[in-house]
Amino acid sequence: MKKRFLPFTTFILAAMTMAGCGGSTPEEPVRPIAAFALGEKTSSGMDFYTSHQINFYKQNVYEYVTTRITYGYSMNLGTEVTVRYGTYVAGYSEDGISEYTLNKAAEVVLSSFSLAGGFKLQVNTADSKQTYPAELPAQTQGEKRYANSKDDVINAYGLGTKIYVENNVISFNDPNSSESAEKAVVTTASESVSSVLSKNFKKVQVTSEIKAGAIGDLYTVYYMHVFDDNSYEYITTGINFGYSMVLGTTNTVSYGKGSFGTGEDGFTPFTLEKGNDVVLNSYSKAGGFSIAINTADSNQTYPAELPAQAQGEKRYANSKDDVINEYAPALTVYTSDADCVMSLVNPNA
């Protein structure tokens, strides 16, 4: 039985329509067949709030999104989103645990910025216009790091790993093993990921915000891919933090089409039409709930439980349209003409 003890705030999210290949028509969208999530907090001088989301596609292709917020001095010191594309291999399935091996990524898309620190970095190994050396996020204060090639980026951010999944939640250690092992590193190269990345990136944008909630702070990161046909993938990662722990994590990805408006003073509006599908994962180790919805999955049933917005609340979607109306409504964001950081409100208003 799913239980919910803690307040949780839902997060808007919309994301990507990608044309399939390998027997698919150009109009046929590619959608995840499964999705898993993990949220965690680590401390190393500053606090790091990290969310992992892994989407599995047909032809054994994965999309692995890691979102990290660095927090200190009562401000967001940096936001980093890394998206890896590669192939996976299914392993054992026992006692509700399923093992998967994620091979070394074929492509990596990295976006990192800090409004406090003044840096805005982006590297996209799948973009034919990407040039090297490319600056990478610093690991220590004042450090300058560079990738001299695509391989450098993948070796730094795209090494594979093993994951273990139970109730849609990721673990990097085998729950069925009595041995406490370090996170596995997999160097086997991935095969083609063209079944998912069948279109070119036109724009990649990211932003984040921190809001005070009733129980704790809400850390939300918004990440968007726009492809060459103006289809989009819009990812929202929300981490609810309080009582020195991660109270809950909600990741949503939605898919749709959009259009660019007329640019002004360095920003161009991009209007996301109402989404076509939503993939949602929400869970809390502290609160004891695990929720997963995939509107593109023919086996998805309704009513489907949604993340609560207040303590003890029970919310349900009675249809696919209910999920899309809440998590993928039409909206307009403002993309930067100069860098990777977008605005959720019109900066010229």
How far is the C-alpha of 103 from the C-alpha of 117, rounded, in Å?
A: 34
From 53-57, 100-104, 275-279, 286-290, the region with the lowest mean pLDDT: 286-290
Average pLDDT score over residue span 324-328: 97
* Verdict on whether the full-model pTM lies above 0.75: yes
pLDDT of residue 23: 39
Please list, in sequence order, all residues whose beta carbon lies within 8 angstroms of the beta carbon of residue 149, skipping any fewer than 6 positions away. 132
Measured on CA atoms in the order 268, 273, 279, 282, is the torsion positive or negative?
positive
Please list, in sequence order, all residues whose beta carbon lies within 8 angstroms of the beta carbon of residue 266, skipping any fewer than 6 positions away. 336, 337, 338
pLDDT of residue 38: 83
pLDDT of residue 15: 32
171-182 pLDDT tens trace? 998 888 877 677
Ordered by start, the domain boundaries in the chain are 34-336
Contact (Cβ atoms closer than 8 angstroms) between residue 334 and residue 207: no
Which of 186, 252, 198, 142 is CA-nearest to residue 21?
198
N-term to C-term CA, the chain? 48
How far is the C-alpha of 171 from the C-alpha of 285, rounded, in Å?
A: 12
- Beta-bridge mates of residue 217: 212, 241
Contact (Cβ atoms closer than 8 angstroms) between residue 120 and residue 111: no
**pLDDT interval class at 44 (50, 70, 90):** low
How far is the C-alpha of 168 from the C-alpha of 317, rounded, in Å?
A: 19
How far is the C-alpha of 224 from the C-alpha of 15, rounded, in Å?
A: 7
pLDDT of residue 29: 66
Strands 289-294 and 304-306: unpaired
pLDDT of residue 180: 64
Strands 201-212 and 217-227: antiparallel
Average pLDDT score over residue span 89-112: 95
pLDDT of residue 22: 38
From 33-37, 39-43, 80-84, 256-260, the region with the lowest mean pLDDT: 39-43
Q: Which residue has the higher pLDDT, 55 or 248?
A: 55
Average pLDDT score over residue span 99-103: 97
Q: In 3-state terms, the chain is what percent helix, strand and coil (to 5)?
A: 5, 50, 40
Contact (Cβ atoms closer than 8 angstroms) between residue 199 and residue 19: yes
**pLDDT interval class at 3 (50, 70, 90):** very low
For residue 212, give Cα distances in angstroms to 110, 201, 240.
28, 34, 10
pLDDT of residue 19: 33
Reply yes or no on whether the pLDDT at 344 is more than 70.
yes
From 27-41, 77-91, 202-216, 330-344, the region with the lowest mean pLDDT: 27-41
pLDDT of residue 167: 85
Reply yes or no on whether the pLDDT at 39 is more than 50.
yes
pLDDT of residue 137: 87
Contact (Cβ atoms closer than 8 angstroms) between residue 110 and residue 157: yes
pLDDT of residue 54: 95
Strands 61-72 and 46-57: antiparallel
140-197 pLDDT tens trace? 777 789 999 999 999 999 999 999 999 888 999 888 887 767 788 999 999 999 999 9
Provide the CA 165 distance to its chain's centre, in angstroms: 17
Reply yes or no on whether the pLDDT at 326 is more than 80.
yes
**pLDDT interval class at 43 (50, 70, 90):** low
Which of 129, 119, 123, 120 is CA-nearest to residue 110?
123
Supply φ then ψ for residue 58, to 5 degrees. -60, 165
Reply yes or no on whether the pLDDT at 94 is more than 60.
yes
Provide the CA 22 distance to its chain's centre, in angstroms: 26
